[in-house]
Amino acid sequence: MPETGPAPLPDPDTAPRSGRRSRPLRVAEAIKSWVVERNMRRGDRLPGEAELMARFAMAKGTIREAMRILEAQGLIETRTGPGGGSFVGEVTADRAKALLANYFYFKDLSVADIYQLRRALEPELAAALAGKLDADQIAALEGIVARYPRPAESAEEERDQHVASLAFHRKLAEFSGNPLLGFVVDFMASILADLTVYRRLYDPPNRALYDRGRASQLALIAALREGRAEEARAIMRGHMEGAEALMQAQEAQVMRRFIAE
């Protein structure tokens, strides 16, 4: 059915979570709504500039700025040459995590903040995966643990082991059949890895954290392989609780050193 008028723009005075917004931002939101209403998918072609100007009753400069906003967000892709134009894009998981990390950079996250969420989600993820992983997936988890067969002997080695250990949890998230759960768990592991490096939570090396963490991961792999869901949940819960306590102690030690300096 043909559309006879321009799509209405969101009212900046009633739009939630913001005050007045610029006209290009309002047009960008209207274009996104228009795409969603038509159930458009990645790769679908968007109307040309002239049609967008007519559809949204806006000048060329406003439309171009709105399209630049959407392109910066990863929501549209522009191609040149024959067959070129603007197409619906898709925000990648890596881009979404990078944007979220930038947001939380200014929130002064603590180890306790991160583990509060990890304690709630990761035991359930482990239980859900018990008995569901194939031989290649189990081997991938074992391969990660094999990266740190012995305790670190330097701060730099400890840092690398911390990051590798968190890769174990990111791999579990990858295996999740729930894209939202998988994304959140992966993001938490990613931001904890960044926090560990930025705040030097790996210095000095923490033997207790290594021993407990590696033992928990090996026990968890066995429970996952054999389909013991309740045991997998309990192992992950204990791992989260123990790791949080040890990481908080490490964080406190780093802060004492910082104050002393």
pLDDT value of residue 141: 97
Average pLDDT over residues 149-159: 87
Q: Kindly tell me if the per-residue pLDDT of 17 is higher than 50.
A: no
Average pLDDT along the chain = 84
pLDDT value of residue 20: 54
The last residue of a domain, from among 88, 110, 130? 88
Q: How far is residue 170's CA from residue 175's CA, in Å, rounded to a whole number?
A: 9
Distance separating the N- and C-terminal Cα atoms of the chain: 71
Structural domain boundaries, residue 38: 23-88
Tokens of 10: 């969101």
- Ranked by mean pLDDT, the top range of 59-68, 74-83, 88-97, 219-228 is 219-228
In a domain, 3, yes or no: no
Q: What is the domain-level CATH number for residue 62?
A: 1.10.10.10
> 261: how many CB neighbours lie within 10 A of its CB?
5
Q: Do both 174 and 256 map to the same domain?
A: yes
Q: Do both 219 and 166 map to the same domain?
A: yes
Q: Quickly state the pLDDT bin for 117 (edges 50, 70, 90).
A: very high
In a domain, 107, yes or no: yes
Q: What are 183-202's pLDDT values in tens digits? A: 998 898 888 888 777 777 76
> 184 near 197, Cβ under 8 Å?
no
Q: Kindly tell me if the per-residue pLDDT of 4 is higher than 80.
A: no
Place of tokens 């210095």: 203
Least Cα distance to 27 among 13, 9, 45 occurs for 9
Q: How far is residue 167's CA from residue 173's CA, in Å, rounded to a whole number?
A: 10
Q: Kindly tell me if the per-residue pLDDT of 208 is higher than 70.
A: yes
Q: What is the domain-level CATH number for residue 198?
A: 1.20.120.530
φ, ψ dihedrals at 77, nearest 5°: -125, 135
Q: How far is residue 33's CA from residue 77's CA, in Å, rounded to a whole number?
A: 17
Q: Do both 248 and 160 map to the same domain?
A: yes
Q: Do both 37 and 71 map to the same domain?
A: yes
Q: What are 88-114's pLDDT values in tens digits? A: 988 888 888 888 888 887 787 888 899
Q: Do both 192 and 139 map to the same domain?
A: yes
Q: What are 47-71's pLDDT values in tens digits? A: 999 999 999 999 999 999 999 999 8
Total number of domains constituting the chain = 2
Q: Quickly state the pLDDT bin for 12 (edges 50, 70, 90).
A: very low
Q: Do both 120 and 48 map to the same domain?
A: no
Least Cα distance to 219 among 137, 132, 150, 126 occurs for 126
Q: Quickly state the pLDDT bin for 252 (edges 50, 70, 90).
A: low
CB under 8 A, 24+ apart: contacts of 136-143:
137/175, 138/221, 138/224, 138/225, 140/171, 141/168, 141/171, 141/172, 141/217, 141/221, 141/224, 142/221
